[in-house]
């Protein structure tokens, strides 16, 4: 075996030292598709962002006009602010789904039924749950009739027509739908933490809460990082919830308009593909900055531990 390994172990390097086409053939389908559906579009969007363009007729070069218009466009600033506010959903989701995972990670009878119920929203699809929520929060909907019969409200509130509430309701929907999904990820992580660590913590005098603080949370680090990245990138791209809850309008006074929603509206409702491309470039820049900050923060945290 040792002989074989010595002979073959160096084999791949020699055999595939740049001459063989095999690795490239394996990569070809992915790379070709990524080139067509990602790299080419990014390059064209960058080009379109300097043009006046409505998809139907050829683009016309206008230089920085679209970007100058962006700076002066209050709706764009509103959308940018809303998208950044939406990021607040991420820490909430992490805290709640972590707590849920710890609760559900218990040997109680029928626990798997509860686990299944908790991820029902995640698999039902954002359109279906968005429609359900829209009717729950309707002026004549369940929330109002329940609150009135409980005596909390005298008059029904038009929740979704209230500019100050639109974004909050959408965020609540995102959080509600995400908790079960992310809890499942944390749950799997919890089950990999050795029981002995909890025993050791107990011997050291930790109560239940302290045990989780000192054992579960550090043990779930990879999952927390993963959920943080995934859910914050999702928050930056939110669209479906806004689309359904505001009935394709983006809310009264653009109260629920996010960057992606505004991009969609400009490109596909108002036929301003050039202007929308400039919004797309800002979205890309926003995501880049956010990811760099993300990576920095994660690196720093790794250094200290």
Partner 1 sequence: MARVQALEAPELRPVVRVRRRTVRRTVETALWYVALIAMAVVTVFPFAWILLTSLKGLADPIFSVPPQFLPNDPTLDNYTRVLDSLPVPTFFLNSIIATTATTALSTLVAALAAYPLAKLRFRGREPIFYLLLATLIVPLQLTYIPSFILAVQVFDYYDTLPSIIFPNIASAFNIFLLRQAFRAVPNDLIDAARVDGARELRIWWQVMLPLARPTVATVAIFTFVVSWNDFLWPSLMLHDRDTMTLPVGLAALQGFFANDFRAIAAGVTMTVVPILIFFVALQRQFVKGLGGAVKG
Closest to partner 1 by CB, 5 or 91? 5
251 lies in the site for partner 1, by CB under 8 A = no
Taking CB under 8 A as the rule, does residue 293 contact partner 1? no
CA dihedral 73, 75, 76, 81 (to 10 degrees): 130
For partner 1, the binding residues in 252-281 under the rule CB under 8 A are: 260, 263-264, 267-268, 273, 276-277, 280
- Return the residues of window 183-202 that contact partner 1 according to CB under 8 A: 184-185, 187-189, 191-192
- Give me the least distance between CB of 60 and partner 1, in Å please: 15
Q: Is 12 in the site for partner 1 (CB under 8 A)?
A: yes
Number of residues near partner 1 (by CB under 8 A):
105
67 interacts with partner 1 by CB under 8 A: no
Q: Are 169 and 137 in contact (CB under 8 A)?
A: yes
55 touching partner 1, by CB under 8 A: yes
Q: Is 271 left (phi over 0), alpha (psi -120 to 50) or beta?
A: left
Binding partner 1 (rule: CB under 8 A), the pick from 62, 84, 85, 148 is 148
Q: Which window, 64-72, 74-82, 199-207, 284-292, contacts partner 1 (CB under 8 A)? A: 284-292
Residue 37, interface with partner 1 (CB under 8 A)? yes
Q: Which of 118, 159, 198, 228 binds partner 1 (CB under 8 A)?
A: 118
Closer of 5 and 296 to partner 1 (Cβ): 5
Choose, by CB under 8 A, the member of 13, 71, 203, 209 that binds partner 1: 13
| Residue choice 69, 141, 200, 271 for contact with partner 1 (CB under 8 A) | 141
> Which of the residues 212 through 231 are near partner 1 (CB under 8 A)?
219, 221-223, 226
In the set 127, 253, 270, 293, which binds partner 1 (CB under 8 A)? 127
Q: Contact between 80 and partner 1 (CB under 8 A)?
A: no
Q: Residue 64 or residue 111: which is nearer to partner 1 going by CB?
A: 111
- The Cα 216–Cα 197 span in angstroms is 9
* Residue 69 found at the interface with partner 1 (CB under 8 A): no
Q: Token pair for residue 235? A: 């928050």
Which residue, 97 or 166, is less far from partner 1 as judged by CB? 97
Footprint of partner 1 on residues 157-186 (CB under 8 A)?
Answer: 176, 179-181, 184-185
The three state secondary structure string of the chain is CHHHHHHHHCHHHHHCCCCCCHHHHHHHHHHHHHHHHHHHHHHHHHHHCCEECCCCCCCEECCCHHHHHHHCCHHHHHHHHHHHHHCCHHHHHHHHHHHHHHHHCCCCCCHHHHHHHHCHHHHHCHHHHHHHHHHHCCCCCHHHHHHHHCCCCCCCCCHHHCHHHHHHHHHHHHHHHHHHHHHHHHHHHHHCCCHHHHHHHHHCCCCHHHHHHHHHHHHCHHHHHHHHHHHHHHHHCCCHHHHHHCCCCCCHHHCCCCHHHHHHHHHHHCCCHHHHHHHHHHHHHHHHHHHHHHHHHHHHHHHHC
Q: How far is the CB of 264 from partner 1 (least distance, A)?
A: 7
């Amino acid at each position: 075996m040792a002989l074989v390994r010595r002979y073959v172990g160096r084999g791949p390097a020699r055999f595939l030292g740049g001459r063989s086409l095999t690795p490239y053939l394996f990569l070809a389908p992915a790379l070709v598709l990524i080139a067509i559906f990602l790299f080419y579009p990014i390059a064209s969007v960058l080009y379109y962002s300097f043009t006046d363009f409505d998809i139907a007729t050829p683009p016309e070069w206008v230089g920085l006009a679209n970007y100058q218009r962006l700076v002066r466009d209050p709706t764009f600033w509103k959308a940018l602010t809303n998208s950044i506010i939406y990021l607040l959903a991420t820490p909430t989701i992490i805290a709640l789904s972590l707590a849920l995972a710890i609760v559900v990670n218990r040997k109680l009878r029928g626990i798997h039924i509860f686990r299944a119920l908790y991820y029902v929203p995640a698999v039902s699809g954002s359109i279906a749950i968005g429609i359900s929520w829209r009717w729950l929060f309707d002026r004549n909907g369940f929330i109002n009739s329940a609150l009135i019969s409980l005596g909390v409200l005298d008059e029904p509130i038009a929740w979704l027509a209230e500019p100050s509430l639109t974004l909050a309701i959408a965020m609540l929907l995102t959080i509600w739908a995400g908790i079960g999904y992310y809890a499942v990820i944390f749950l799997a992580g919890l089950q990999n933490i050795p029981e002995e660590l909890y025993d050791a913590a107990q011997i050291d005098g930790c109560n239940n809460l302290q045990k989780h603080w000192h054992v579960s949370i550090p043990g779930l680090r990879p999952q927390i990082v993963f959920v943080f990245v995934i859910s914050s990138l999702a928050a930056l791209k939110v669209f479906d919830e806004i689309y359904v809850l505001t009935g394709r309008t983006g809310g009264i006074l653009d109260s629920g308009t996010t960057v992606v929603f505004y991009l969609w509206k400009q490109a596909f409702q108002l036929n301003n593909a050039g202007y929308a491309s400039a919004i797309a470039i800002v979205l890309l820049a926003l995501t880049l900055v956010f990811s760099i900050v993300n990576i920095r923060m994660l690196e720093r945290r790794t250094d200290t531990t």
